[in-house]
Amino acid sequence: MATKIFLILTFETIFIFFWGFIDFVIITPLLPLPDDICFYHTNTPPIWVKLFYLDVMEHTEPPFSPLHILLLLLLSLISGFYVGIKVDKWLLKMGMK
């Protein structure tokens, strides 16, 4: 049981960094977000920008809303839990535990 919990926590931590890197370094720079952090004070943002990339003051710098961060954390937790369980079952099947 302790091994399973350790595996789940380890993979959740790994996936937090993995999905964070994929999102922040690869996906977000490809999106058409404005360079000016005050751009959306005078322009209407698209709904996807408002949901995922504007902070409370409608700035895009840093370009992440609380919903965006929550979704990344949930994705990391679900991925880590799933992979941790699968690795634990694999270790039991291989007789390594």
- pLDDT at residue 5, rounded to an integer: 93
- pLDDT at residue 7, rounded to an integer: 93
Q: Give every residue of the chain whose pLDDT is below 70, as ranges.
A: 59-63, 97
Phi/psi of residue 65, nearest 5 degrees: -90, 165
The model's pTM: 0.78
- pLDDT at residue 55, rounded to an integer: 76
| Count of the separate structural domains present in the chain | 1
CB 33 within 8 A of CB 60: yes
Range of the domain at 34: 2-93
Question: Of 47, 59, 53, whose CA–CA distance to 27 is shortest?
Answer: 53
- pLDDT at residue 13, rounded to an integer: 95
How far from 69 is each of 7, 18, 43, 63, CA to CA, in Å?
A: 23, 14, 24, 10
